[in-house]
Amino acid sequence: MPVRIRLKYCGGCNPRYDRTAIAAMLRADFPQADIAETAKDGPDHFVAVICGCPVACASHDDLRGLAGKTILTSEKDYGKLAAAVRSADLS
């Protein structure tokens, strides 16, 4: 089963960077991963909450990733998510 990464975007009221670029980087760095913005049957391994600014107001309490959740508030935060995906033991 491929790694499943669930994306959640904020409402985009004050974006300070291209949030969709994060999803593009994920798809490029993890081409075998199942990356989706909507729920699917089965568990998500990771949840990425992609917020456009430091306020990080996107609701995500109901989202759980088996191997964690990363809240991104700038493109610099992408490294945290990529490192978590790379280092996870999903066996």
- How much of the chain, in percent, has pLDDT values that exceed 70? 96
Model pLDDT, residue 91: 56
Domain limits of the chain?
Answer: 4-87
Region 16-22: mean pLDDT is: 93
The pLDDT of residue 21 is above 80 = yes
- Rounded to whole angstroms, the Cα distance separating 86 from 83 reads 5
The pLDDT of residue 88 is above 90 = no
Model pLDDT, residue 78: 96
Strand partners, 72: 50
List the one residue out of 2, 14, 4 whose CA is nearest residue 46. Answer: 4
The pLDDT tens digits of the residues spanning 35-74 come to 998 877 778 999 999 999 999 999 999 999 999 999 999 9
